[in-house]
């Protein structure tokens, strides 16, 4: 967009533009989200940027009112470079790690020089500048939303030392972390937990999301009650729990996290964003699916999300268990696996008792143990083969899934939709989809769904909610 178009979007304060760009105000040195409700600056004082990192690299400080750290992220399909987008996601998800650019590039299958080049072309900043902004914005979120000590904030945000954190924060934001904290009112649920917020683009159909998760909640690992989602968490040696609620008036999800997970906070928040699909753009999606009205007058449902996953292996196993049986039966099997092979977690929340077993724990238990729990041999073998891939650190791709004996087309597409973040997965053999599109044949359903690309995963969710 050109300057005039950006400015018109800014003046509209339309949530559809939230996270799509940021505005730096030269007269104040502050940058804002387009939804900020402070007095709109004059056009001649505005400079527009595509990312918070680019804005901060230009010398602007984040607004304390609209809080750029709460802006929702970009949809995967909005990026012109898949490699740059993948690198940005890796940096956001693990900004607390000290991984070098060369190590990140190696994991993504390219050289660090090539990664730096495509990253700068896409985001107009270096990967290291992007990571620093991620760390600063996470730190600002923790300083604003919690009463964690400044030292804990520094370590959770990946700065490594309090001295380094203070130096970088004051240099970039022109005030110390302690001074920022005095300007805001932070709060925590208790001494054993803290709460941070994750932004999304409204509307958000929260009840539909909770209904989906509740039906598939794994006993001992997940529960839904009182309009909130609870689950146990295990990331490496760190265990704990989270609770997620909606703050509709603020267009955020409030994530309460046990203090035991502080050291893996970036990973926890990344998994929450994935599970609750907070980066999607409801207006873009509903516009693309508007022809679904011919199927049912209530479609498409604006704000409907595709539930992702918190733990990829857990969701893959749950999908395999769900092949050709009811949701309730699959949930029962998953609960048995948790009780027999999962690790106990003490969290003091009724209904949360274990973390889901890791790949190596299921491999150690073996096929016979799965059979004793009621898992038929074909599915047990598929689970073990999948566990071997996870244990070896191999990437799970949509092309690789059908090569695993026991994983059919429905399971591969379902895993692609929920685990791989595929926005365009379609399940023509699914019972709910066939019921919603009856009396069409499978060929007719697939042809009809061509008009819903690249958002067929969201079309499936719409069909499931008729």
Q: Do the bridges between strand 354-355 and strand 228-235 make them parallel or antiparallel, or are there none, so unpaired? A: unpaired
DSSP letters, 398-452, are TTTGGGSTT--HHHHHHHHHHTS--TT---TT-HHHHHHHTT--HHHHHHHHGGG
The number of C-alpha atoms within 13 Å of 188 and in the hemisphere containing its C-beta is 14
Catalytic residue from among 145, 279, 413, 430 = 430
| Cβ atoms 49, 55 nearer than 8 A | yes
Question: What backbone torsions phi and psi does residue 332 show, to the nearest 5 degrees?
Answer: -60, -45
User: Two tokens at 270?
Assistant: 């990344």
The total number of residues shown for the chain amounts to 466
Q: Per the residue annotation, which of 18, 32, 281, 316 is the catalytic one?
A: 32
- What pLDDT sits at residue 285? 96
List Cα–Cα distances, 383 to 7, 26, 412, 427, in angstroms.
53, 56, 13, 21
Catalytic annotation present for 430: yes
Query: CB–CB of 230/352 below 8 Å?
Result: yes
How many distinct helices (H) and strands (E) make up the chain? 20, 11
- 32 has catalytic annotation: yes
CA 442 vs. chain centroid, Å, equals 32
Q: Taking the model in full, what pTM does it have?
A: 0.89
pLDDT at position 76, please?
Answer: 43
Could you give the domains of the chain?
3-70 (3.40.10.10), 76-183 (1.10.10.60), 193-277 (3.30.310.20)
Residue pair 70/141 in contact (Cβ under 8 Å)? The answer is: yes
Kindly give the parts of the chain with pLDDT less than 70: 1, 74-81, 96, 184-191
| Euclidean distance between CA atoms 383 and 102, whole angstroms | 34
Cis check: omega of the bond before 454, within 30 degrees of 0: yes
Q: Which has the closest alpha carbon to 233: 128, 155, 309?
A: 309
HEC secondary structure over 132-193:
HHHHHHHHHHHHHHCCCCHHHHHHHCCCCCHHHHHHHHHHHHCCCHHHHHHHCCCCCCECCE
Q: In this predicted structure, what is the pLDDT of residue 116?
A: 93
Helix (H, G, I), strand (E, B) or coil at 44: helix
Residue with tokens 């008792």: 353
Give the torsion through C-alpha atoms of 123, 129, 133, 134, to 10 deg.
Answer: 80
CA angle 118, 122, 125 (to 5 degrees): 90
**What local confidence, expressed as pLDDT, does residue 181 receive?**
86
Q: Give the pLDDT of residue 185.
A: 57
pLDDT at 96: 63
């Amino acid at each position: 967009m050109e300057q005039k178009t950006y400015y018109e979007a800014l003046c509209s304060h339309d949530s559809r533009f939230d996270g799509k760009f940021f505005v730096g105000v030269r007269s104040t040195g502050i940058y804002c989200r387009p939804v900020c409700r402070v007095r709109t600056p004059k056009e001649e004082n505005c400079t527009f940027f595509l990312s918070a990192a680019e804005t901060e690299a230009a010398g602007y400080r984040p607004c304390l009112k609209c809080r750029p750290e709460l802006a929702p992220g970009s949809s995967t399909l909005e990026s012109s470079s898949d490699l740059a987008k993948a690198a940005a996601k890796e940096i956001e998800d693990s900004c607390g790690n000290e991984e070098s650019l060369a190590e990140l590039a190696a994991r993504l299958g390219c050289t660090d020089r090539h990664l730096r080049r495509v990253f700068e072309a896409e985001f107009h900043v270096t990967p290291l500048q992007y990571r620093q902004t991620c760390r600063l914005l996470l730190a600002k979120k923790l300083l604003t939303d919690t009463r964690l000590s400044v030292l804990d904030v520094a370590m959770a945000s990946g700065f490594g030392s309090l001295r380094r954190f203070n130096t970088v924060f004051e240099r970039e934001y022109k005030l110390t972390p302690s001074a920022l904290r005095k300007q805001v009112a932070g709060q925590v649920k208790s001494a054993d937990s803290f709460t941070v917020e994750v932004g999304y683009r409204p509307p958000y159909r929260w009840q539909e999301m909770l209904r989906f998760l509740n039906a598939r909640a794994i006993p001992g690992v997940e529960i839904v009650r009182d309009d909130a989602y609870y689950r146990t968490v295990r990331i490496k040696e760190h265990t704990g729990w989270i609770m997620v609620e909606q703050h509709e008036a603020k267009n955020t999800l409030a994530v309460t996290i046990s203090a035991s997970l502080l050291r893996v906070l970036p990973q926890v928040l990344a998994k929450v964003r994935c599970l609750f699909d907070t980066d999607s753009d409801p207006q873009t999606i509903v516009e693309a699916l508007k022809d679904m009205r011919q199927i049912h007058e209530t479609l498409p449902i604006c704000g409907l999300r595709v539930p992702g996953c918190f733990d990829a292996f857990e969701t893959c196993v749950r999908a395999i268990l769900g092949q050709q049986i009811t949701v309730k039966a699959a949930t029962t099997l998953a609960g048995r696996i948790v009780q027999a092979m999962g690790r106990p977690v003490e969290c003091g929340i009724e209904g949360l008792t274990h973390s889901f077993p890791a790949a190596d724990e299921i491999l150690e238990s073996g096929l016979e143990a799965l059979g004793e729990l009621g898992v038929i041999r074909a599915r047990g073998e598929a689970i073990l083969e999948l566990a071997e891939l996870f244990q070896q650190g191999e990437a799970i791709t949509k092309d690789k899934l059908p090569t695993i004996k026991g994983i059919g087309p429905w399971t591969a597409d379902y895993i692609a939709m929920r685990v791989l973040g595929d926005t365009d997965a379609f399940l023509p053999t699914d019972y709910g989809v066939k019921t919603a599109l009856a009396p069409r044949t499978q060929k007719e359903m697939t042809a009809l769904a061509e008009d819903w690309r690249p958002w067929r995963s969201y079309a499936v969710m719409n069909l499931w909610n008729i």
